[in-house]
Amino acid sequence: MACNQKVKTPEEIAKEIHNRVLTVDSHTDTPWALLKGDFDLSERHDYKKDRSRVDFPRMIEGGLDAIFFASFVGQRERNDSTYQWAYNRAMEQIDSIHSHVNFRSEIAEIAVSPEDAYRIESLGKRAIFIGIENGFPLGLDLNNVEVFYNKGARYITLCHTKNNDICDSSTDSTEYNGLSVYGEDVVAEMNRLGMMVDVSHISDSSFYDVINLSKTPIIASHSCARAICDNPRNLNDDMLKKLAENGGVIQMCILSDYVKAPEPYPERDSAQNALRIKYRGFDDLTKEEMAMARKEWYAIDTIFPRKLATVSDAVDHIDHMVKVAGIDHVGIGTDFDGGGGLADCQDVSQLGNITLELVKRGYSEEEIRKIWGGNIMRVLQKVLDNAS
């Protein structure tokens, strides 16, 4: 080495690696913002002003090449009218994704395969994948799995915070002790079509049912390690090992409560609980009510600011998951616009901070390539290849 050759700093190394690898965020709830009607993905937004964490300019700033926009529908009572409502709501979000992306085709394109993602990246554009969070919009019609697949959805998170007709949730009571009979059919149909089965949010027993049933690798699109943060939304070590044996991938989530147990904050908790009561659990609200509820929720954040976990805390989860499951089975799914965000990674423009922490901890470029997109793309390709 020449004596005057400059040694690169970790920041310089991280920036170069971040720019070279395909970076994929496997879960965001940005479609909720698209439904407001006045949200332009091609404009740069300020999180402090409107709580938005994702748009095209900030994706470019943060070096994020591909993203999964999740069409999320909250759980309600199960009957014909709510099934139809949920289906319509999911479709409205998916159509909105297509509309916004097609309107800015010079910046982004819809992707449905790894080949699409790499092609779109090579053009200097952003690749937009579609997922569905909560299988509730399927209702009891198995044909809807194919309907959503044909609209571009490449995964379904089987449930959300409450049980549905498919399976038990990790944060609800036991109803089926795992998958329902209908849920078994849903998993089989997703395997047949080439759609990834997402186990984030589902109960432990549901997880093991999926592992035993699925003929293709599964994903946890936004979850962490329970050994590091004891939250039912996270996967324990045995689940991580089973996921690896299945060939799947867990995408580290940066929602602070899943990264690090929050410190007690009774004043904040009391204010939030009062708001939940005032707005009926945020269920079945008009657009005007939802806008007001959101404004008041954000005001609580200002009055009682949370102490958020850090990127270092989050990468502790990556370290643990790599140790238990292996480097080929770990990725990143931020849950931006759905609660995700850290003290030093507030929005998509700051995602390079994760790469920097990985570099500081000694991860190689190839390992970072796998974590940032290679693993989730490998799983998606395997699932597509096994479609019948």
Bigger pLDDT: 284 or 275?
Answer: 275
Helices 375-385 and 114-122 meet at what angle, rounded to 10?
130
Q: Are 302 and 317 part of one and the same domain?
A: no
pLDDT at 234: 98
pLDDT band of residue 376 (cuts 50, 70, 90) is very high
CATH number at residue 219: 3.20.20.140
Residue 342 forms part of a structural domain: yes
Averaged over 169-197, what is the pLDDT? 98
Q: What does pTM read for this prediction?
A: 0.94
Work out how many domains the chain is built from and give that number. Answer: 2
pLDDT given for residue 53 in this prediction: 97
Estimate the crossing angle of helix 287-303 against helix 266-278, to 10 degrees: 170
Structure tokens at 234: 């996270």
Query: Are both 152 and 282 inside the same structural domain?
Result: no
pLDDT the model gives residue 2: 54
Same domain flag for 293 and 239: no
Dihedral of CA 132/137/138/144: which sign?
negative
Q: Is the pLDDT of residue 386 over 70?
A: yes
* Shared domain check, 244 and 176: yes
On whether both 153 and 68 belong to a single domain, the answer is yes
Q: What is residue 126's DSSP assignment?
A: E
Assigned domain for 8 exists: no
Domain boundary among 306, 335, 370: 306
Question: How many C-beta atoms surround the C-beta of residue 277 within 10 A?
Answer: 9
9 part of a folded domain = no
pLDDT-derived band at 135 (thresholds 50, 70, 90) equals: very high
Residues 158 and 172 in one domain: yes
Integer Cα distance of 164 and 141 in angstroms:
13
Q: Phi, psi at residue 154, to the nearest 5°?
A: -120, 0
Check whether residue 137 and residue 212 sit in a common domain.
yes
Averaged pLDDT of the chain: 95
Residues 298, 367, single domain; the answer is no
pLDDT above 90: percentage of residues in the chain: 85
Domain that holds residue 51: 21-263+308-385
> Mean pLDDT across the stretch 254-282?
89
For residue 85, is pLDDT > 70? yes
**What is the reported pLDDT for 289?**
83
Residues 106 and 189 in one domain: yes
Q: What pLDDT was estimated at residue 3?
A: 59
Higher pLDDT, 173 or 297: 173
Lowest-confidence segment of 240-254, 291-305, 334-348 by average pLDDT: 291-305
